[in-house]
Amino acid sequence: MTSVTATFPAIKALQRPDPWRSGVVLAALLLALPVIVVFSFMFVPAGEVWLHLKQTVLQEYVTNSLVLLLGVGIGVLAIGIPAAWMVSLCEFPGRRLFEWGMLLPMAMPAYIIAYTYTGMLDFAGPVQTQLRDWFGWGYGDYWFPDIRTLPGAVLMLSLVLYPYVYLLSRAAFLEQSICVLEVSRTLGTGPWAGFARVALPLARPAIITGLSLALMETLADYGTVQYFGLATFTTGIFRTWFGLGDPAAAAQLAAVLMSFVFVLIVLERWSRRRARFHHTSTRYSHLPRYQLRGWRRLGAIVGCSIPVTFGFLLPALQLGAWALDTTDAWLKADFFALVGNSLMLAAITAALAVALALLMAYGRRLRPSQPVNLAVRVASMGYAVPGTVIAVGVILPFAWLDNTIDGWMRAQFDISTGLILSGTLAALVFAYCVRFLAVSLNTVEAGLGKIKPSMDDAARCLGLAPSRVLREVHMPIMRGSLLTALLLVFVDVLKELPATLILRPFNFNTLAVRAFELASDERLADSASAALAIVLAGIVPVILLSRTIGRSRPGHDQTVC
Amino acid sequence: MTKLLDVENIDVGYGHHTVVFDASLRLKKGAIGCLLGPSGCGKTTLLRAVAGFEPVQRGRILLAGDEVSRDGWTLPPEKRQVGMVFQDFALFPHLTVADNVAFGIRRWPSDKRTARVQELLQLVGLPQYGASYPHALSGGQQQRVALARALAPKPRLLLLDEPFSSMDVELRETLAREVRTILKHEGITGLMVTHDQFEAFAIADRIAVMHAGRILQWDTAYNLYHQPADRQVADFIGQGVLLAGMVVGETMVDTPLGAIAGKVPTGCRKGCPVDVLIRPDDIMLDPASALQAEVIDKAFRGAVFLYTLRLPAGATVLCQAPSHHDHAIGERVGLRPDFDHLAVFPRRE
C-alpha cells in the first residue's frame, strides 16, 4: 500500500495551489526552456543560410555523424561486452583489479585523449621518433596512419565511452544470468553457447541502455571532432553561429541534432522498460566463475589490459610527462586563476543542481501526481542534450530578454541596461544545471529511495513532528547521497567543454577551455597541466562508482540468483 | 467499562474514493484485536486511520475516551502515544539496534533510557545485539527490534501492520504467540492487521473479518468459525462446504445428511431454500451408520486425514478423521453428522 501521508495531500492539491507542485513544475519548465527554444526553430521558415547549409554541408554532417555513431557503436560493444563477461563470469589473475580498472577511461574526456594521441603519434611525437631511431627511416620513407581522421575519432571515442556498455552489461550479467545459465546447462547447453543463447539475450536491454548512453555522448562530442577537423553537427553549429553569424540556422541545425538524440532517448527508455521484466528473483547464491587456464587466461589478461592501457594509462602517462616538462610554463599565478575559476563554477553549479534535485525528488515523493512526474522527467532530459545545443538554447532566450529589457528601459527612462544575463556566469551555470540535473537527481532519488515511507510513519509514531523527521531521519540517511551528487556534478562541470566555450563571459577561462585552446594552437605540451588536472578530478567519480559496485551485493563473490 | 479504543462508524478514503465504510469496533484495555481480510479489503487503511495517518470522512475515533479523529480534524500521529510495527519493519538504517529502540524515548534521562532499551532487548530475546546495525540482522530479528522500538515509549495502543508477512510460514504462528505473550506482559492493547487467519487466531482476543471495506463480523475466533455472520465470513474462515437444504420446521433443516436441528435465519419460513455450512469436523466416520458416502479424495495431514466424500445425492462434503481411519479412494464409508452449532444462510439466486 502506498504511503498515504503522501497520496492524500495530492488530491487536496488539485483544489488549491500548492507550493511543491508549482515549484517543481516551474523549475522543470525553466530547465526545459533551452530544448523548447531549439525545437521551436524547427517551425521557423528556413533562411538563406539554412538553404546554403542544406545545399553544401548538411549532407556531410549527417553522413559523418552517422558513420561516427555506427563506428563508436560497434567499438563500444566490441570492447564493453567481452570485458564485462570476463570480469563477471571468469576467474583469472588480476580480475578484481580489472573490475574497476576498466572504468578508468571514463575519467578521460574525449577531446583530451584525442589530442594526446595526436601528440603521441605525429611526426615529432615519441612513437614515430622511436620508429625512425630503430629502423633508420627518414621523413617520407614510410607510411604512418593519421589519427586525425574519422576512423581515428571513432577509435578515440570508443576508447573512452566503452565503460557505459561495460558497466551496464556487467550489472546485467551479474544480476540475471547465473541461475538461468545453470538451468540452460542442465538442459544441455555448453558454457559458451549458454553465453550466446541465454546470457547475452537476457542482458540485451541493459546493453542497449549502455549503448544509447555512449551514442548520446558521441553526438554531444565537440572537442574531438573539432580537433580532428571533422564536419559534424556540433562543429557545424559552432561554424554557423560564429563563422556565418546566423543564430537561427545554428538553432535549426541544433534541432536536427536533437531529433537524432531523441531517437536515442526513445531507444534507451524502451530498453530500460524491458529491462524490468528481465529481472529474476533476489536470492543470493554463490557465483561459480569459469576458471580460465593456459592461453585463455593469458587472452583474458591481455584482452582486459588493452582498453585500460590505451584508454587511460598511456594517455595519462603522456600528459604527466608533458606536464613535468613544462612546469615552468604553467606553475604560475594564471594557472591557479584557471583552477579557481573552474572550481568556483563547479561548486556553484553542484550546489544549485543538488538543490534543484532535492526540490524535484521531494516534490515527487510528497506530491506523486502525473504533472509532477512529467515535470521531473522533462527536467532530467538534459543529460541527453549536447552541450552545444543547450548553449544555443540558452543564449537565444537570454539575448532576447536582455534586448527587450534594454529596449524598454531606453524607451521609458532613456537608460541602456545592456546585457544583463547573456555573457554572464549566470547563463553558464544555468546551462550546466540543464545538462547535469539528471546526474544529481538520480543520486538524490536513489538516496531518498532508501528512506521508505514507512520510516517517516514510524518516526512520527515515535513522537517526531514532520520537521524533526526531516532532521533526524532524512538528513543522516541522505548525507552520503547528497555528497556523491555534489561531487558528480562538480566533476562533470570541470570536464564540460562546448557549452563553456560558447557561454563563458569574455576573457573568462576554465581548465577545460584553456586545455582545448592550447591544444588547438598545437601547444599540446603546454595544455597538459590543465588536461591532467581534469583527468585527475575525473578519477573521483570512477572510485565512487567502483565502490558502489562493490557494495551493491552482499559478499563480493556472490550474485543475485 | 474501560474502553481503550473506540472506533465509531468511520468512513476512510482518499478524496472521493472511500475505502472503508461504516467501520466500528471497540477494544478493552489490554485486549488484542485483529483486522482480518484479503488484500485490498481496507484493513490497512482502517489501521492507519487509528494511527492518525488517515483522516476520517465520517464518524470518530476515541482513544481512552478522548476524541482523536473526526471529520475535518485529526490529531497527528506523534501526539497519540500509539506505537506501530510496520510490514517492512522500517528500522532506521543509520542507527544501531539500541539507538533504534531508544528513538522514541530520546527525552528520557539517560540511565532510565539505557535500562529500558536493555529491558526490551531482553524481552524480545536480543540482549546482545544492541550495538549491531539493522542490516546485519535476519528478518525475524529485525521484526523483534521493530517491536521493541514500538514498545519502548509504553504506547497506549500498539498497531501491527502485517508484521509477520515476510517471515517463513512455519515461523508466523510462533511469532504471533510470542508477540501476544509480550503484549500481555506489558499490558498493552494491540490491534493487528493480517490476511492469515491462523496468525489472527494465535494472537487475537477478537477478530474483525473485513471484506470490500466493511467489517462483516467483529467476534472471537471460535464464533467466527462456528457461527459466521454470513457466507463471506464462512467462506473466508476455515474450510467447509455449503450444502443445499430446505427449512422444514421452526428449527429444523432438511439436508442430504438428513434433518438437522438448529437456528434458522430470520425471514426463512418452512419450504425456504437455504445453505448449511458443514465443517470438516462436523462429520464423523462411523462404520455402523446407514448413511454411506464414497471417498473421492483424501489428503494426509499427519494426525488426521481430510477426506472429500460424495453423498448418495451427489453433493460433496469434507470430513476430518483421525489418521488411523485409512480408507482408499473409491471406498464407501459410513458417516455420521455431529453438530454443536448450525450455521444456515438463505439461498442466493
- pLDDT(A281) > 60: no
Contact A486, A444 (CB under 8 A): no
pLDDT band at A318 (very low <50, low <70, confident <90, very high): very high
Same domain, residue pair B123 and B250: no
Q: Mean pLDDT check: name the lowest of A44-48, A310-314, B24-28.
A: A44-48
Question: Which residue is listed with cell 581522421?
Answer: A149
* Single-letter code of the amino acid located at B98: A
CB contact under 8 A, A4 and B104: no
Average pLDDT, chain B: 89
Q: If phi over 0 gives left and psi between -120 and 50 gives alpha, with beta otherwise, what is residue B90?
A: left
CA dihedral (A540, A541, A546, A549) in degrees, to 10, reads 150
The CA-to-CA distance between both ends of chain B, in Å, stands at: 44
B53, B56, B75: best mutation site toward chain A, by most A Cβ within 10 Å?
Answer: B53
Of A7, A11, A454, the CB nearest to B86: A454
What is the average pLDDT across A266-295? 66
A511-520 and A524-551 are packed helices; what angle lies between their axes, rounded to 10 degrees? 130
- pLDDT(A287) > 80: no
Question: Which carries the bigger pLDDT value, residue A188 or residue A436?
Answer: A436
Which stretch of DSSP H or E encloses residue B252?
strand B252-255
CB contact under 8 A, A462 and B103: yes
Q: Is A7 on the interface with B (CB under 8 A)?
A: yes
CA dihedral (A38, A43, A48, A51) in degrees, to 10, reads 90
Cα nearest neighbour of B56 on chain A = A8
Cα nearest neighbour of A5 on chain B = B53
The grid coordinates listed for A453 are 515511507
Question: In this predicted structure, what is the pLDDT of residue A559?
Answer: 37
**Which residues neighbour A339 within 8 Å (Cβ) at sequence distance 6 or greater?**
A511, A533
The grid coordinates listed for B145 are 527490534
Question: In this predicted structure, what is the pLDDT of residue A554?
Answer: 39
Question: Which carries the bigger pLDDT value, residue B316 or residue A51?
Answer: B316
* CA of A1 vs chain B CAs: smallest distance (Å): 8
CB pairs under 8 A between A and B: 73
Of A5, A454, A476, the CB nearest to B90: A454
CB contact under 8 A, A450 and B93: yes
pTM here is 0.79
For residues B18 and B11, what is the distance between their CA atoms, to the nearest angstrom? 7
Cα nearest neighbour of B78 on chain A = A463
Question: Which carries the bigger pLDDT value, residue A553 or residue A87?
Answer: A87
Question: What burial letters (b/e) apply to A172-191, b meaning 16+ CB within 10 Å?
Answer: bbbbbbbebbeebeeeebee
Same domain, residue pair B263 and B331: yes
For residues A201 and A194, what is the distance between their CA atoms, to the nearest angstrom? 10
What is the average pLDDT across A304-327? 91
Chain A segment 12-31 residues within 8 A of B by beta carbon are 12
For residues A49 and A129, what is the distance between their CA atoms, to the nearest angstrom? 45
What is the average pLDDT across A449-462? 89
* CA of A369 vs chain B CAs: smallest distance (Å): 14
Question: In this predicted structure, what is the pLDDT of residue A140?
Answer: 75
**Which residues neighbour A337 within 8 Å (Cβ) at sequence distance 6 or greater?**
none
Question: Which residue is listed with cell 577545460?
Answer: A512
The grid coordinates listed for B317 are 462434503
Tell me which of B234, B249, B282 is where a domain ends: B234
* CA of A13 vs chain B CAs: smallest distance (Å): 11
Contact A47, A135 (CB under 8 A): no
Sign of CA dihedral A520, A525, A527, A532: positive
Same domain, residue pair B8 and B21: yes
Report the Cα A25 to chain-centroid distance in Å.
25
For residues B142 and B135, what is the distance between their CA atoms, to the nearest angstrom? 8
Q: If phi over 0 gives left and psi between -120 and 50 gives alpha, with beta otherwise, what is residue B252?
A: beta
* Helices and strands counted in chain A (H then E): 26, 4
What is the average pLDDT across B166-175? 80
Collapsing DSSP to helix, strand or coil, A501 comes out as helix
* Single-letter code of the amino acid located at A554: P
Same domain, residue pair B198 and B261: no
Q: pLDDT tens-digit profile of A469-522?
A: 888 899 888 888 888 889 889 988 998 999 998 888 888 889 999 899 888 888
Q: pLDDT tens-digit profile of A420-430?
A: 777 788 999 99
Residues of B in contact with A460 (CB under 8 A): 53, 76-78
Q: Mean pLDDT check: name the lowest of A260-274, A338-352, B175-189.
A: A260-274
Cα nearest neighbour of B16 on chain A = A11
- pLDDT(B118) > 90: yes
Q: Is A450 on the interface with B (CB under 8 A)?
A: yes
Which value does ipTM take for this structure? Answer: 0.81
Residues of A in contact with B90 (CB under 8 A): 452, 454-455, 457-458
Same domain, residue pair B193 and B296: no
Q: Where are the domains of chain A?
A: 36-304+540-561
DSSP output for B19-32: EEEEEEEEEETT-E
Question: Which residue is listed with cell 473466508?
Answer: B236
CATH class name, domain A36-304+540-561: mainly alpha
Same domain, residue pair B229 and B248: no
- pLDDT(A282) > 60: no
For residues A508 and A229, what is the distance between their CA atoms, to the nearest angstrom? 25
Of A7, A464, A465, the CB nearest to B14: A7
* CA of B259 vs chain A CAs: smallest distance (Å): 48
CB contact under 8 A, A457 and B14: no
Supply φ then ψ for residue A60, to 5 degrees.
-70, -40
CB contact under 8 A, A11 and B51: no
For residues B172 and B163, what is the distance between their CA atoms, to the nearest angstrom? 9
Sign of CA dihedral A197, A199, A204, A210: negative
Of A11, A450, A454, the CB nearest to B88: A454
Supply φ then ψ for residue A452, to 5 degrees.
-70, 150
- pLDDT(B318) > 80: yes
For residues A294 and A358, what is the distance between their CA atoms, to the nearest angstrom? 53
Using CB atoms within 10 A of its CB, is residue A211 exposed (0-12), middle (13-18) or buried (19+)? buried
Question: Which residue is listed with cell 476455515?
Answer: B238
Same domain, residue pair B275 and B222: no
Question: In this predicted structure, what is the pLDDT of residue A288?
Answer: 67
Q: pLDDT tens-digit profile of A181-216?
A: 677 767 777 667 777 777 788 788 888 888 988 999
pLDDT band at B102 (very low <50, low <70, confident <90, very high): very high
Report the Cα B239 to chain-centroid distance in Å.
15
Q: pLDDT tens-digit profile of B290-317?
A: 888 999 999 988 888 999 999 888 888 9
Which stretch of DSSP H or E encloses residue B300?
strand B292-300
Question: In this predicted structure, what is the pLDDT of residue B281?
Answer: 87
For residues A317 and A535, what is the distance between their CA atoms, to the nearest angstrom? 11
Nearest to A223, CA basis, from A147, A109, A319: A109
Residue B341's domain comprises: 239-346
The C-alpha angle with vertex A360 and arms to A355 and A366, in degrees rounded to 5, equals 120
* CA of A546 vs chain B CAs: smallest distance (Å): 21
Using CB atoms within 10 A of its CB, is residue A135 exposed (0-12), middle (13-18) or buried (19+)? exposed
Question: In this predicted structure, what is the pLDDT of residue A553?
Answer: 47
CB contact under 8 A, A454 and B76: no
The number of CA neighbours under 13 Å toward the Cβ of A31 is 29
Same domain, residue pair B17 and B119: yes
Question: In this predicted structure, what is the pLDDT of residue A552?
Answer: 52
Question: What burial letters (b/e) apply to A140-155, b meaning 16+ CB within 10 Å?
Answer: eeeeeeebbebebbbb
CB contact under 8 A, A477 and B94: yes
B94, B113, B138, B165: best mutation site toward chain A, by most A Cβ within 10 Å?
Answer: B94
Chain A segment 452-511 residues within 8 A of B by beta carbon are 452, 454-455, 457-465, 473, 476-477
CB contact under 8 A, A452 and B90: yes
Same domain, residue pair B190 and B326: no
A314-325 and A110-121 are packed helices; what angle lies between their axes, rounded to 10 degrees? 70
pLDDT band at B164 (very low <50, low <70, confident <90, very high): confident
What is the average pLDDT across B72-83? 91
The number of CA neighbours under 13 Å toward the Cβ of A309 is 6
Supply φ then ψ for residue B32, to 5 degrees.
-120, 125
The grid coordinates listed for B26 are 471497540
Tell me which of B234, B268, B293 is where a domain ends: B234
Q: pLDDT tens-digit profile of A249-273?
A: 888 888 889 888 888 888 877 877 7
Report the Cα B323 to chain-centroid distance in Å.
28
Chain B residues interacting with chain A (CB cutoff of 8 angstroms)? 14-15, 44-45, 48, 51, 53-55, 76-78, 80, 82-84, 86-88, 90, 92-94, 103-104, 146, 149-150, 152-153, 155
Nearest to A291, CA basis, from A95, A84, A99: A95
Cα nearest neighbour of B159 on chain A = A461
Using CB atoms within 10 A of its CB, is residue B205 exposed (0-12), middle (13-18) or buried (19+)? middle
What is the average pLDDT across A374-389? 87
Of B78, B86, B90, the CB nearest to A463: B78
Tell me which of B212, B234, B256 is where a domain ends: B234
Q: Mean pLDDT check: name the lowest of A271-275, B66-70, B130-134, B173-177.
A: A271-275
For residues A28 and B214, what is the distance between their CA atoms, to the nearest angstrom? 43
B63, B86, B107: best mutation site toward chain A, by most A Cβ within 10 Å?
Answer: B86
Contact A119, A198 (CB under 8 A): no
Q: pLDDT tens-digit profile of B6-17?
A: 999 999 987 778
Domain total in chain B: 2
DSSP output for B106-152: TTS-HHHHHHHHHHHHHHTT-GGGTTS-GGGS-HHHHHHHHHHHHHT
Question: Which carries the bigger pLDDT value, residue B45 or residue A186?
Answer: B45
CATH number (domain holding residue B337): 2.40.50.140
CATH number (domain holding residue B145): 3.40.50.300
What is the average pLDDT across B36-49? 91
CB contact under 8 A, A455 and B90: yes
Contact A218, A206 (CB under 8 A): no
Average pLDDT, chain A: 83
Neighbours of A4 (CB within 10 A): 20
Task: Give A267-329 as a 3 state SS string.
Answer: HHHHHHHHHHHCCCCCCEEECCCEECCHHHHHHHHHHHHHHHHHHHHHHHHHHHHHHHHCHHH
CB contact under 8 A, A5 and B44: no
- pLDDT(A168) > 90: no
Question: In this predicted structure, what is the pLDDT of residue A275?
Answer: 59
Cα nearest neighbour of B93 on chain A = A477
CB contact under 8 A, B53 and A465: no
What is the average pLDDT across B158-185? 86
- pLDDT(A283) > 80: no
Same domain, residue pair B227 and B325: no
Contact A499, A391 (CB under 8 A): yes
A4, A11, A457, A462: best mutation site toward chain B, by most B Cβ within 10 Å?
Answer: A462
The grid coordinates listed for A220 are 554531444
Same domain, residue pair B283 and B146: no
For residues A220 and A217, what is the distance between their CA atoms, to the nearest angstrom? 5
Q: Is A4 on the interface with B (CB under 8 A)?
A: yes
Same domain, residue pair B177 and B325: no
